[in-house]
Structure 1
Amino acid sequence: MASVRDLLALGADLPTESPARDAEVLLCHCLQRDRTWLYTWPEKPVDAANEQRFRALLARRRQGEPVAHLTGQRDFWTLSLAVTPDTLIPRPDTETLVSWALELPLQEQARVLDLGTGSGAIALALASERAGWQVTATDASAAALAVAQRNIAHCCPGRVRTLQGSWFAPLAGERFDLIVSNPPYIEAADAHLASGDVRFEPRSALVAGASGLDDLQAIISGAPAHLAPGAYLLLEHGYRQGEAVRNLLTQAGFEAVATRRDLGGNERVSGGRCGAD
C-alpha cells in the first residue's frame, strides 16, 4: 500500500508551474486532510480507493485541467469558494482590489456593486469584512450566478443580492457608493489564451475585443449614471492597461484617478472618484 510520501512523489514531474504544490493540494483534497497532516504523517498508508482517486486527478492535471476545477474550490481572501468551469478562478492579484475598496472612507451602510461577479469572490470578500455594507452582485451568465449564489449561501447567507444581466442592464435607476469589477480584459489575439488554466475558463469572462478594453470602457462610460456624488469606481485590468484605463477614467470625468500594483509589482487595479454634483 502506497504511503503519503509515495503519492506526493508521483506529482514531482507534473508539467505545471508548481508541481509539488499541485500534488499536495490534490492529495489533501482526496484525504480530506490539511498540508500539515501530510508532512506530519508521511509514512501513513493510503487506502486503495483514495490512491486511485489521487492518480486519476494527477492524470487530469497532466492534461492541464486547473487544480481549482479538480477540487471544486479555491481560497480567496479569507474564504473558501466553490469554483466551476462556468466562472473565472479567483486569483490572489484580485485581492489588490479588495484591499483598496476596504480602505475607502465609505459610510457604514454603503451601497456596493460588484459587476460581473463570477464566483462572487469580490462581493463576498467585501461583505465578509463590512457587515453593514449593502452588496449587490450581477452577472450576465445564469450559470456563473448560480455558483455565486451557492457561495453566498455558504459564506454570507442573506448578505449579497444577486441580479442577472449584462453590466448595468438590471440596475435601472439605482446608484451606489462604490462600484467594483474584474471584467474581461484580455486581447482577443493574446497567445496566453492557449496556455495554462485560462484554456479551461469561460472565454466570455476573459476576452474583451481586439484591445481588451471593450468591457472596461463600457463600465467606465456607464458608471457615472449609477454612482452617487463622490462615489468610487475600482477596476481590475491587464498589467499593460494601466495608462489606458486611467485615461478612460479621466475622460469620463473621474477625479483622484490612481492605480494600485498587484503582488508581482504590476499595475493591476485603477480607479477614481465620481465628482460631486
Structure 2
Amino acid sequence: MSIITLSPAILDAQADGRGIVALESTIITHGMPWPQNLEMARQVEATVREHGAEPATIAVLDGTLHVGLTDAQLEKLAQAKHVAKLSRADLAVCMAERRTGATTVAATMIAANLASIRIFATGGIGGVHRGAESSFDISADLHELAQTPVTVVAAGAKAILDLPKTLEVLETLGVPVIAYGQDQLPAFWSREAGLRAPLRMDTPEQIARAHRMRAALGLPGGQLIANPIPAEAEIPRDVLAPVIEQANADAARHGISGKALTPYLLQRIFELTQGRSLDANIALVLNNARLAAQIACRMTLLT
C-alpha cells in the first residue's frame, strides 16, 4: 500500500512544470465551522488556480497521505467528525492506524516536501504560547520551518501567541522571517504586531529567488513570508488586544491547554468579535493563497 497519493491534478501540474501551492487541512476541520469551512476551502483552491498555480490540499484519509484532494474528498473532510489534528509527532501514528487526520503547518510542510512542493499557503503559523516560560508550550511549526525546505506564506504568527518570543525563537533557529511589502511584522488579524520584521521583500520573484538561493547554499529549512491581511479586512491591534486577553483568561479559568488551546481561543475570539474574526480569517487566507500562487509561478521560471 502506498503511503502517499498525489491527485491526478497534481501529477498533471508536475508533468507540465506548473507551480503548485500546498494547503493545510486543519483550518478546514478545526479552524472554521461547517459549511463556511468547505466554502473557504473551495475559495482558496479557486484563488490559487486564478493566479496560475495548482492547489494541493493535504490530509490523511484512512491512513493514506493525500497531496491534492478531489472536491468530493474535500466535502467529506469538511463534514467529518473526530478528525485527528496532525503535526510531526503524530503523523506517522495516524497513518499506521489507518485513521483520518488533518495536517497542521508542520505536517503539511513534511508532506509538501515529500511531494517536491516548495510553496505552502496557510493562515497563520503556530509559535510560542503566552506563559511558555512555565508551560513550555511551543508549536512544532517553528522547528519545522528550521528543517524542512518549504517557503510558508502566512499572515504572521497567530495573534493569540507571544509574538516577541515567537520571533526570538525563529531567529535562534535561523529561519528567515520576511515581511511582504512593509517593515512591520503583521499579526494575523492585524496588519501590524508592533514589531519590526527582520527582513522585507516586495515582489514574488524576490521571494522565489531567496528560496532557490537557500537551496544552492545547502541551508536547511524554509522561509516564513509574513503577508499582511488586506487593510479593509483587518481588525486593528488596539481593538483586538482586549479580546485576546479575555479569551486567554477564559481558557485559563477552564483549564484548557495543549492542542485544545488554539481551537478554543479561535472560537472564543469569534464569539467575542461577533464573527468578525472569521471574516478576517477568510480574507487573510485568500490573500496568502494569492501571493503563494504568484511565488510558485515565479519559481517555475527560475533556472
Shorter-chain TM-score bucket reads 0.3 to 0.5
- TM-score normalised over the length of structure 2: 0.32
TM norm structure 1: 0.34
**Higher share of residues assigned helix:** 2
Instruction: Report 1 or 2 for greater relative contact order, CA contacts < 8 Å, sequence distance ≥ 6.
Output: 2
Larger Rg: 1
